[in-house]
Structure 1
Amino acid sequence: MTETKGPIEIYLVRHGETWFNKLDRVQGWCGTPLTPKGFAVAEAIGRAFASAGIDFRAAYCGDMLRHHETMATLLRAMGSSLEPISRFGLREMSFGAWEGMPNNLMWEAAYRVLGVSSTQEALGKGFTLIDIFDVFSRTNPDTDYPSDNVRQAADRALSTLDEIADDEAGPGAAPRILVVSSGVTIACILHRLGAELRTPVHNGGVSRLLRDDDRAWTVLGHDDVSWAERGGWQG
């Protein structure tokens, strides 16, 4: 029988804008640093967290440069002394040989498989963003470079969040944990937990998850970009 843990709240943040984001290229397991905008948005979110009096017990992030830069900037802006803990399971979905290519090539390949010409048309025909994401691995142009499907990305990330919750939860009020990950991985998590997404998760978007005493997850809110605005970002 699994030991009962107390509740825990996760603030799940997508990393700030990167060089590949700005160039509109597929990123995945490729690593590029934050742009000046990416650093500024992360700093603004950190200021907003501090102004709101949010106290985090621990800070976890994916194991790539953009995750570390975002987390370090957030914590510094908060005046926090927490040291970020890296987790492989929080990195982005792998897009295989699509990585580094223009995003439109990967998306157009997925559209052809689904018989549509745009995301809007796909949504109008009853597909979801997750359906589109799941086609990316099927259209991987070179399988020598392995890619993830949605199930693999969600399983990896949620398993990691459960491990974090098990390590950090305890009796009493739910501690808050700060987590930085990537957009498609966050979307896969949110979808698995029942949230409906009609647009990709934004850079700097903040989602809030609660795991209760019975280890069940609930989405309290997703892709909230107002934190950066509250922290003084004027995009």
Structure 2
Amino acid sequence: MAAIDIYMVRHGQTYFNLLHRFQGFSDAPLTESGIQDGHRAGNRLAKIHFDGAYSSDLTRAIHTARYALSENQAGSPKEPETLPNFREENFGSFEGRDSQVTLTDLNAYVDKPYENYAAMVADLGMPAVMDLFAAHDPYQLAESYQEFLDRVQAGFQQLRDRHQDGDKVLLVSHGTTIRAIANYFGHPEMAANSVHNGAVMHLRLTDDGCDVLAFNDITTHFE
């Protein structure tokens, strides 16, 4: 059975992250700390030869991937290829808004109030929370869970089509996307946790599914 190892990294800290604002398809530049997040992730992955290097097509992911690849010592690609299917969730008109203000708005549509986004995801689950954003976006721009899942599944099919058994792949993506993927592959308990900027999720993608071998890892030096 063919197996592809994917090292999925969350982009470095951005100014929207720093200000606790929902980001989604919108973009904000990396902070100085965010640049270092990329270098630190790359340092912990420096000994791995990547047969492919990818990022979402959002600037914060592209730049993080470049910083990470600049640390590689194993003959990996120098430049990431973009895969738009691994963008962040589209939060629609909630993007750019303070996270707690947004949560106050959404609390009006659930049975009990939640103190923060992580608590809402832990209790309701990632699919329900994505659908909550989609249902109550007044501009109807936010994507539903099924819309999100369709594009991410297509992204994984792209990786299967491009790679073969034993290949190792770097993929820089986004916090909610990473959490939702962990949930989809059978780990809702992982999805309930916020993902650190620069953290690694190690996936082993097979013809039958995917194993999550590491999640939200900011300490391991992978080999």
Report the equivalent of 1:178.
Answer: 170
Bigger Rg, which one = 1
Q: 1:66 to 1:219 in 2, by over 3 A?
A: same
- Identical residues among aligned pairs (%): 28
Report the equivalent of 2:146.
Answer: 151
Counterpart CA distance in 2 for 1:42 and 1:187 is 19
Structure 2 stretches of 5 or more lacking a match?
none
Report the equivalent of 2:164.
Answer: 169
TM-score by length of 2: 0.88
Q: 1:121 to 1:74 in 2, by over 3 A?
A: closer
Report the equivalent of 2:28.
Answer: 32
Q: Deviation at 1:150?
A: 2.0
Counterpart CA distance in 1 for 2:192 and 2:24 is 20
Q: Which amino acid aligns with 1:198?
A: A
**Residue 187, structure 1, aligned to residue 179, structure 2:** yes
RMSD of aligned residue pairs (Cα, Å): 2.2
Counterpart CA distance in 2 for 1:57 and 1:187 is 24
Q: Deviation at 1:122?
A: 4.7
1:153–1:188 CA contact under 8 A, matched in 2:
no
2:128 to 114, 131, 144: 131
**Residue 116, structure 1, aligned to residue 108, structure 2:** no
Counterpart CA distance in 1 for 2:168 and 2:119 is 39
Q: How many residues align?
A: 216
Report the equivalent of 1:22.
Answer: 18
2:2–2:164 CA contact under 8 A, matched in 1:
yes
Structure 1 stretches of 5 or more lacking a match?
none
Report the equivalent of 1:70.
Answer: 64
2:52 to 44, 47, 58: 58
Counterpart CA distance in 2 for 1:138 and 1:225 is 34
Q: Deviation at 1:74?
A: 0.2
